[in-house]
Amino acid sequence: MAVIEVSNITKTFRIPQERKTQLKEYFVNPFKKNTYKEFKALDDVSFSIEKGEFVGIIGRNGSGKSTLLKIISGIFLPNKGYVKTDGNVIPFLELGVGFNMELTAKENIFLNGVILGMSRSSLQSKYKDIINFAELEGFENTQLKNFSSGMQVRLAFSIAMQAKGDIYILDEVLAVGDMNFQQKCFNTFRKLKKEGKTIVFVSHSMGAVEEFCDRVILLDHGKIQDEGDAFDVVRYYSEMSLKNGENTSINKVSKGEGIVSVKALNLKLEESSSFNMGDYIKLRINYSFKGNIKNPIFEVNLYRNDGLCVASLNTQDSEVEINQINGNSFIDLNIDNINFFAGSYNVSVILFSEDFSTEISFLENACSFEIFSQKERQSGVVEILGKWEEK
């Protein structure tokens, strides 16, 4: 018996180029037409899911996975086709939906729980379990803004676990949290699977997909590319990604090619390994390639010596477009005001081909530097500039 039936779904988004979002604009320029670019997120997608099945949906970024989940969950309407679901659908497109930082843990349990479709009375009876499972005894009446992000995630997950439905829609829930938390997630999945619940699961973690899914659907550019046994589809997908990577970027990088070195320079453009907080730092990334690399993306990750990733920057998010690179050259990352607290840090650099499709070169611990600071009472990771205001 099919509990989810997706029939010939097409979803087109109109991405506004110049959309009027203010009434004012209608008065100022009433005859200017809104211009849109059409983007087909899903193109004639059909499949059905049987009761008790654990189905994975995989595909590259932008292949339409999230849109599909939103349509199954009833958040978006398809342009064509329909979705029929039989049973109570619980979407977990995000953990902690509706969490309010100003409310206490207790208040958030009720708010979030009710949003997930639980009743107040059932939350009342499960309240102790939720608190215990999240290991938050004694923090019930603390405002959420005073929780660490780990505590928030634990709370969110522990509420979500109590939601009782027939169909679960899971989107990248595993992306957050540490190993321990991921194990908890997996255990919950196993339990749900044992109970015969129907689960639709979107993930980039191929290991998890292979372990849990009975069947996998591979989406590419809004179409179903492949569907079937988890192992086969995942292997097909990996091969496809590899091939795609080769098409868009370069031939395999040979020895001696790639990111050669990274240097930390000070204001006088001298190499240095010690800086004061607030100093200017220029990270010069030297590379060497024999062939051309089209539309590359540089990513710089800054780690504290205990392994914490303090910051990650890439040229795509910074909206820096690099057409192509070749030969021996360098790219600079200028940091005007390094606001890390005192400590030692190291830098890793990754070079990706277009759209992060393949990793071309990776240089770990490429350089390290020390930050000094005069301020004594400091703890934390980075300085944020807050303004004090007396009452």
Q: Residue 107 or 211: which CB sits closer to another protein?
A: 107
Q: Residue 201 or 369: which CB sits closer to another protein?
A: 201
Binding to another protein by residue 119, rule CB under 8 A?
A: yes
Question: Candidates 18-26, 48-56, 215-223, 297-305 — which segment interacts with another protein by CB under 8 A?
Answer: 18-26
Binding to another protein by residue 22, rule CB under 8 A?
A: yes
Q: Describe the strand order of the beta sheet including 324-335 as a list of residue ranges.
A: 258-265, 281-294, 324-335
Q: Residue 91 or 245: which CB sits closer to another protein?
A: 91
Contact 32, 58 (CB under 8 A): no
Which of 74, 87, 196, 327 is in the footprint of another protein by CB under 8 A?
Answer: 74
Binding to another protein by residue 28, rule CB under 8 A?
A: no
Rounded Cα gap, residues 174 and 181, in angstroms: 9
Which of 56, 59, 68, 73 is in the footprint of another protein by CB under 8 A?
Answer: 73
Question: Candidates 54-62, 101-109, 144-152, 247-255 — which segment interacts with another protein by CB under 8 A?
Answer: 101-109
Contact 349, 302 (CB under 8 A): no
Cβ 112 to another protein, closest distance in Å? 9
15 CB-contact burial (10 Å; exposed 0-12 / middle 13-18 / buried 19+): exposed
Which of 77, 175, 267, 308 is in the footprint of another protein by CB under 8 A?
Answer: 77
Contact 280, 376 (CB under 8 A): no
Cβ 321 to another protein, closest distance in Å? 27
Cβ 153 to another protein, closest distance in Å? 16
User: What SS3 class is residue 222?
Assistant: coil
Which of 2, 5, 7, 13 is in the footprint of another protein by CB under 8 A?
Answer: 13
Q: Which residues contact 386 (CB under 8 A, 6 or more apart)?
A: none
Which of 37, 120, 252, 391 is in the footprint of another protein by CB under 8 A?
Answer: 120
Contact 178, 135 (CB under 8 A): no
- If one counts every other C-beta atom within 10 angstroms of the C-beta of residue 354, the result is 17
Angle at 134 between CA 184 and CA 98, to 5 degrees: 100
The candidate with the shortest Cα–Cα distance to 344, out of 312, 388, 383, 310, is 310
The candidate with the shortest Cα–Cα distance to 302, out of 229, 213, 351, 365, is 365
Cβ 110 to another protein, closest distance in Å? 6
Total residues contacting another protein by CB under 8 A comes to 30
Binding to another protein by residue 103, rule CB under 8 A?
A: yes
Q: Which residues bind another protein (CB under 8 A)?
A: 13, 21-24, 70, 73-77, 89, 91, 93-94, 97-98, 100, 102-103, 107, 110-111, 114-120
